[in-house]
Amino acid sequence: DLEGMKVVAAAAALWLLFAVVVFSTSGGSSSGEERHCRPEDLPDPLTLRADQITVLISGYSEARLPLLRSLAVSYSSLPFVAAVLVLWGNPSTPSPALLDALSLDTAAAPISVHRHPTPSLNARFLPRREIRTRAVAVCDDDVEIDQASLRLALAVWGAHPDRIVGFFARSHDLDLSRRAWIYTVHPDRYSIVLTKFMVLAADHLRRYSCDGGEGMRAARAVVEAETNCEDILMNFVVAMATGRGPLLVGGRRVRDWGDVRNEDGAGKVEEGRRGEW
């Protein structure tokens, strides 16, 4: 379909750009990202906790604010979650409405709201001083993961800290009839895990947002222009830094509220696919 073709085109552009990135590892970030990239403004890496995780929830739809609030409170209550950061990417939302909807009084892990001036998907990967853990969970505001599944993902990441761990995967394949690469779902293999919910080292946020010079700046510009493919780019960033691919894990109760196939009319959380790692 048209949307799929756009994704493939953007992905192809990123593939080409990474030929430049590989040979362009110097240089800083753009001015809009500088304040997130200054080492003096970020916590000392040696002080980051390894036994907990910071959850970064990206939000945009005002209609999903009640769900976002519920997810933030749920993740905040987990003993292995250090903090929940709500990254709001809809600049047209009135501040009072946003703060009222997400005004949370909880004795669990702190929940903070970070409003962005633009809807850029790159903003979900900005390093932040509030991140005090070695691992972060990057997720959407319409994906619900139960405690056992999130604990499993964190444990798998702890055993493989050089890899991205996620619950949703995609694959690339060759369409022989069109002689073109396509973006698809395969039952027995995968190329990337999606930002619907992924666990990765917090240090990769800096690599994505601050490093790579002009090559990475151009790659982030593709994400900006297409409003897509930030997950593809992050998978590239981690693979380039570590030489390792992502890991797909299966969850007991993993719900993508944005997927119409999961709408059963009763709000039931469907059983997620069980996978091996």
Token pair belonging to 185: 């779902």
* HSE toward the beta carbon, residue 125, CA cutoff 13 A: 30
pLDDT at residue 275, rounded to an integer = 34
pLDDT tens profile 8-41: 555 555 555 554 444 333 344 444 466 789 888 8
Taking the model in full, what pTM does it have? 0.82
| Encoded amino acid at 53, one letter | I
Q: Which pLDDT does position 172 carry in this prediction?
A: 79
Q: Which residues are catalytic?
A: 231
Cα separation, 69 vs 65, in Å, equals: 6
* Domain edges within the chain: 2-262
Q: For residue 254, is pLDDT > 70?
A: yes
CA gap 212, 259 in Å, rounded: 34
pLDDT at 139: 98
Instruction: Reduce the DSSP state of residue 145 to 3 states and report it.
Output: strand
Task: Please state, in angstroms and rounded to a whole number, the distance separating the CA atoms of residues 277 and 152.
Answer: 10
Average pLDDT, the chain: 84
For the domain spanning 2-262, the CATH number is 3.90.550.10
pLDDT reading at 102 higher than 90: no
Q: Model confidence at 221, in pLDDT bands (50, 70, 90)?
A: very high
Residue 107, strand partner residues: none
pLDDT of residue 22: 42
Higher pLDDT, 271 or 133: 133
Question: What pLDDT is stored for residue 77 in this prediction?
Answer: 95
Strand 143-145, strand 254-256: pairing: antiparallel
Distances (CA, A) of 20 to 9, 15, 78, 212: 18, 9, 42, 9
Higher-confidence residue of 169 and 261: namely 169
In this structure, is the dihedral angle defined by the CA atoms of residues 210, 215, 218 and 219, taken in order, positive or negative? negative
Give the pLDDT of residue 14. 56
65-77: per-residue pLDDT in tens? 999 999 999 999 9
DSSP string, 199-244: EEETHHHHHHHT-SHHHHHHHHHHHHHHT--HHHHHHHHHHHHHS-
126, 131, 135, 137: CA torsion to nearest 10: -60
Least confident of 45-54, 67-76, 137-146, 267-276: 267-276
CA 19 – CA 4 distance, rounded (Å): 23
